[in-house]
Chains A and B, each alone.
Chain A
Amino acid sequence: MTTAAIDCDLHPAVPGVATLLPYMDDYWRHTLVERGIEVLESSSYPPNAPSSVRADWRGPKGGAPSTVAQLQAQALDRWGAAAGILNPMFPVQLPFSRDMSAAMARAVNDWVRAEWLDRDARLRASILLPNGVEEAVAEIERLAPDIRFVQGMVLCMGEIPLGRREWWPVHAALEKHGLPLAIHAGSAWRHPPTSVGWPSWYVEEYTSNSYGFQASLASLVTEGVFQKHPGLKVVLVESGVSWLPGFLWRLTKSWKGVRFEVPWLDRPPAEIVRDHVRMTIRPFDAPEDGETVSRLLDHLRSDEMLLWATDWPHAHFDGDATVPPGFPEGLLPKIMVDNPRATYARLREGGSA
C-alpha cells in the first residue's frame, strides 16, 4: 500500500451517552441523565451482528473500538495510511426532537474533535449532521472553520429525499465551504427501509440500503441539485458499488423519454453522476474474480469515482486484505491517493489543526 493512501471511511464508536455529556450544555446534560437515556443504538448496526465489528477488533466485552489507540493499532499504523476520515455513526438521526438531534450531533462532533482529531494529525472527520435543516446548516457553519472537517454526513434513508428543495440550504452551505455531502448507509427509521413495507429480517434491511442510495441519488439528480450547486460533490459511503451501473442505465434510459419533466437537466443523469458522485469501495458487492471486477469497472465508465476505504471496524475482510479481491493493482494509486485528493479540497490544502 502506498504511504500517501487516504482511508475514506473509519468509524469511531461512541461508547455510550455518558461519553457525550461533557460535550453538552447544562440543559442536555441534565435532561439526558434525568430521562435515563444511557445508550442509543440504531438497528442499522446491531452491536452483536458479526458485520458490525470485526471479531478481532472487539474490546474485552465485545464492544466496538472507541479510542484513537485502537484505531492506530488496528488500522492506521498497521496499514500505514497518510490520512483517514472519521465517520461517526452515533445515531443522532433517531430522536424525533430536532433539538435533541442537534444537541447530540454537536456533542459527537466536539467529541470527535477533542478525542480523535486533536490526538492524531492524520485524522479528518465528517460533520455529523442533525435532522433539522436549520440545525444542519448551523452545524456546518460552526465547524467549517476547522479544516479538519472535510465533509457533512447524513444517512441514505432519512426523513425526506435529499434532493428536495427543503434540503437546498444544506447543499448551499456545503458547496460554499468546499465540503462534499457524504451519504452513509443507514436509516433514521422514519420509513420502512423497503418501499413495499417493513422487512422481517436483518438481511433484508442490510440489502435495502442500496435502494436507499438509489432513491437518494435519483432525488439529487432529478431535482436539479447539481445544476443549482455545480460545485457540490456527493460521496456515497458504505453503499456498495456493483449496483450503480445498472441503476444509472435505467435512470438515463427512462430520462430520455421524460426529459421534459425535468428540463433543468442539461445532460444525461449518468454523466451528471459521474461528474459529481464518488463512492467508497467497502463493501464492494462484487464477485471475487478479476475479470468480473474489471467488467464492472468498465461499466462505471470512469476511474475517478472510487475511493479507497477499509470501513474499520466493520467486518468486510480478514487480516490485511484492505483491497477487494480481483481489484486491478494499477488502479490503486488512483483510488487511494488521486481520487480522495480530488474529492476533498480540504485534503489538498493540508489541514493540520
Chain B
Amino acid sequence: MARHVVAPAAEIPPGGRKVVEAAGKRIVVFNLEGEFFALLDRCPHQGGALSGGILCGLTQSEEPGTYRFSRSGEFIRCPWHQWEFDIRTGKSWFDPRRTKVRQFPVAVEEGAALVEGPYQAETFPVRVEDSYVVLEA
C-alpha cells in the first residue's frame, strides 16, 4: 500500500465529500466534523457510486412507533437502491457483517511534512503552509 496525497484538506469542508483517484481506484473522501473517512466509491450491491448518494443519519427504535434519530450526516445512502452505509466503518446498517464497502486509512498531514517524505501528489503542487488529505491505497 502506498500513501497518496489526494487533495488539499480545505477542499473538503465539514459535511463535504470529494471523489479522488488513488492506485487506480475511485475513492470518496468524507469530512465528518473535521474527521476524514475514505470509502471505495462503489456500492457492494450493484456498483452504484456512493458519492452521488444523500447523507443521512441513523434511525433506530426501541419499539414500534418510537423513533430515535442520531449521528446526523454520518451515513451515506447509495443513490441506486438506498442502502445505508456507515461512513465511519463502511458497514451497511441492515447487514453489517456481510455487506460492507471497502474502507481506506486516511489522515491529514501538514504540507511541511509532506515535501520531505516519500509521498506522491500527482495532480497538484504541495505547499509547505497548507495541509493535505493523505490516503493509503
Interface residues of A, Cβ cutoff 8 Å to B = 165, 223-225, 227-228, 253, 255-260, 263-264, 268
Contacts and interface: CB of A to CB of B under 8 A. Distances in A.
B64 A264 contact: yes
Nearest to A260: B59
A255 B81 CA distance: 10
B94 A227 contact: no
Nearest to A226: B64
B64 A258 contact: no
Contacts of B82: 256-258
B123 interface: no
Residue among A224, A227, A228, A256 facing the most chain B CB atoms (10 A cut-off): A256
Nearest to B60: A263
Given A228-B64, A257-B82, A259-B94, 8 more contacts: A224-B61, A224-B63, A227-B63, A255-B94, A263-B67, A264-B62, A264-B63, A264-B66
Interface string B87-106: 00000011100000000000
Contacts of B64: 165, 223-225, 227-228, 264
Interface in B49-90: 56, 59-68, 81-84
Nearest to A163: B64
A259 B86 CA distance: 14
A316 B56 CA distance: 52
A257 B65 contact: no
Contacts of B67: 263
Contacts, number: 42
A156 B108 CA distance: 59
20 contacts: A165-B64, A223-B64, A224-B61, A227-B63, A227-B64, A228-B63, A256-B82, A256-B83, A257-B82, A259-B59, A259-B84, A263-B59, A263-B60, A263-B61, A263-B68, A264-B63, A264-B64, A264-B65, A264-B66, A268-B95
Contact of B81 (A223, A228, A256, A264): A256
B55 to A, nearest CB: 13
Given A256-B83, A257-B82, A260-B56, A268 B61 contact: no
A284 to B, nearest CB: 32
Contacts of B62: 264
A253 B65 CA distance: 22
A257 B61 CA distance: 17
B65 A165 contact: yes
* B56, B60, B61, B65 pick with most chain A CB within 10 angstroms: B61
A291 B94 CA distance: 33
A33 to B, nearest CB: 45
B57 to A, nearest CB: 9
B61 A256 contact: no
A256 B59 CA distance: 13
B81 A257 contact: yes
A264 B83 CA distance: 17
Contacts of B84: 259-260
Nearest to B92: A256
A211 to B, nearest CB: 24
B79 to A, nearest CB: 11
B84 to A, nearest CB: 7
Contacts of B94: 255-256, 259, 268
A257 B63 CA distance: 20
A164 B67 CA distance: 17
B62 to A, nearest CB: 8
The 6 closest A-B pairs by CB, nearest first: A224-B64, A257-B82, A263-B61, A260-B59, A264-B61, A263-B59
A258 to B, nearest CB: 7
B53 to A, nearest CB: 11
Contacts of B60: 263
Contacts of B63: 224, 227-228, 264
Contacts of A253: 81
Contacts of A257: 81-83
A334 B79 CA distance: 44
Nearest to B80: A257
Contacts of A268: 94-95
A225 B94 CA distance: 19
